[in-house]
């Protein structure tokens, strides 16, 4: 690093405006110095980013770096000269001698020309302010252009880093499973899961991995098997229950909506975890959105069953609640397809979104409690409690990476990690909500029509 760069790696000091020795030159050069400091900061950021390692893959990165370096050197060399020229111009225009520390030359010229020293000073002050404003605007424009160059450069760097990382990961994954650090950055999600990662070149490689052992095996099969369990309940258990015999067409439609949503959620989850290791980032992100959509639809359908049964004999209120829930479910499904929704940085907000949507279902409970009293309403909703406890337990272990955060690199890399436990909790929540809905359907008329 050059001496100039070493000097400019510290934030430039603002000249003291109360210092009698402070000159216009110092003030102007300070503005240039601030700009140069920002250039230096960007250059340092680029170097620390690992720029030199990536230049060989794309010369546009080198070009962007050279542009910043050239801007720095030109500004350092020309900045002082331009300030000197500006000062001389102002001195000549205002009939001033070169600015001395005490300003005596300016005073003598002003007196000899019949112009008061105060008038000259005011003129100088106004000119300084005008020049300073113009210089500030010019530097602001240069900073905007510099920021654009920087953003473009880092966009190229990120793109190339992803391509290079994917190529290296594919080479290694051809013969073995990868570690967390071997994955490209965009594929990294849980740093406590150290081993067992796939990185598949295409769709069929992901499909073949269904019969291999890796850190997604349990995530895939817990929900794939759960789908077949729910399929059996839908076709064999439900038709044998009292709720089926007593149900109207609308009752059956409501239960079918829940069963379809539950099975859709389980299938979407299994599909996502099957293809989560695909090496094409955009495809990976789309499969993630499939999973989020399945969760959103399940939450909406689960709330619908409780609203339908609790307000069974109040069709107007019931239909309003169900319409609002369906609308939120639709908008939520669209929202989950936004590119930002699948980012690692958005993880906390994803959890908050799903939890908030589920909690919104409590509005129906409050309305029902106002009609029937809290005790009777709680007793009616009691079958749903097991389902809620499963979901709450799952959210806790998933949010805090329990237990792998305490034992990174252990057996939890493959079995018993937080995501496995979350999947088991989700299936438990679905199963117990199905059982609860059967009970709610059987008791809906007795409870809702009692007032």
Angle at 327 between CA 325 and CA 328, to 5 degrees: 65
419: annotated binding-site residue?
A: yes
What kind and span of H or E run contains 380? helix 374-381
Q: What angle do CA 181, 187, 192 make, to 5 degrees?
A: 50
3-state SS of 159-175 is: HHHHHHHHHHHHHHHCC
| 278: three-class secondary structure by DSSP | strand
In the block, which residue shows the tokens 């339908």?
308
Q: Which residues contact 305 (CB under 8 A, 6 or more apart)?
A: 254, 255, 257, 258, 433, 437, 440
- Is 63 known as a binding-site position? no
Which parts of 306-442 are beta strand (E)? none
d(CA 407, CA 204): 33
**Does the annotation flag 433 for ligand binding?**
no
Q: Which residues pair with 178 in a beta bridge?
A: 197
Query: With 0-12 CB in 10 A as exposed, 13-18 as middle and 19+ as buried, what is 377?
Result: buried
Whether the link from the prior residue into 403 is cis, omega within 30° of 0, is yes
139 conformational bin, left if phi > 0, alpha if psi -120 to 50, beta if neither: alpha
Structure tokens belonging to residue 86:
């500006």
CA 181 to each of CA 164, 177, 194, 252, 286: distance values in angstroms, whole numbers, following the listed order:
14, 12, 8, 50, 23
Binding residues for Zn(2+): 273, 419, 423
Binding residues: 273, 419, 423
């Amino acid at each position: 690093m050059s001496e100039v760069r070493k000097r400019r790696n510290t934030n430039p000091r603002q000249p003291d405006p109360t210092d009698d020795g402070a000159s216009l030159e110092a003030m102007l050069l300070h503005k240039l110095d601030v700009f140069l400091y920002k250039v230096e900061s960007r250059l340092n950021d680029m170097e620390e980013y690992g720029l030199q390692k990536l230049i060989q893959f794309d010369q546009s990165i080198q070009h962007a770096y050279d542009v910043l370096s050239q801007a720095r050197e030109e500004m350092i060399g020309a900045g002082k000269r331009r300030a000197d020229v500006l000062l001389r111009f102002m001195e000549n225009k205002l009939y001033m001698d070169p600015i001395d520390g005490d300003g005596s030359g300016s005073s003598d010229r002003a007196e000899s020309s019949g112009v008061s020293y105060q008038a000259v000073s005011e003129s100088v002050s106004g000119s300084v302010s005008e020049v300073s404003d113009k210089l500030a605007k010019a530097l602001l424009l240069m900073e905007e252009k510099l920021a654009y160059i920087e953003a473009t450069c880092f966009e190229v760097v990120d793109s190339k880093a992803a391509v290079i990382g994917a190529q290296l990961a594919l080479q290694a994954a051809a013969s073995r499973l990868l570690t967390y650090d071997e994955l490209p950055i965009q594929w990294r999600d849980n740093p406590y899961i150290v081993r067992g990662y796939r990185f598949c070149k295409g769709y069929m490689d992901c499909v073949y991995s269904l019969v291999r052992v890796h850190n997604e095996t349990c995530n895939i099969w817990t929900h794939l098997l759960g789908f077949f369990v729910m399929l059996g309940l839908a076709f064999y258990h439900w038709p044998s229950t009292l709720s089926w015999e007593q149900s109207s067409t609308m009752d059956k439609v409501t239960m079918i909506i829940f069963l379809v949503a539950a099975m859709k959620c389980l299938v979407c989850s299994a599909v996502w975890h099957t293809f989560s290791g695909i090496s094409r980032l955009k495809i990976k992100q789309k499969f993630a959105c499939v999973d989020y959509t399945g969760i959103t639809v399940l939450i909406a359908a689960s709330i619908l069953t409780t609203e339908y049964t609790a307000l069974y004999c109040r069709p107007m209120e019931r239909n309003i609640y169900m319409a609002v829930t369906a609308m939120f479910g639709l908008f939520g499904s669209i929202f989950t397809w936004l590119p930002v929704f699948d980012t690692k940085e958005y993880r906390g907000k994803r959890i908050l979104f799903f939890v908030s949507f589920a909690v919104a279902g409590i509005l129906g409970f409050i309305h029902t409690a106002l009609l029937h009293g809290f005790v009777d309403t709680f007793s009616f909703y009691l079958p749903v409690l097991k389902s809620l406890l499963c979901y709450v337990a799952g959210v806790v272990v998933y949010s805090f990476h329990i237990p792998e955060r305490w034992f990174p690199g252990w057996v939890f890399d493959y079995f018993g990690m937080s995501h496995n436990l979350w999947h088991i909790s989700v299936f438990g929540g679905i199963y117990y909500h199905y059982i609860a809905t059967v009970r709610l359907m059987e008791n809906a008329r007795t409870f809702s029509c009692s007032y």
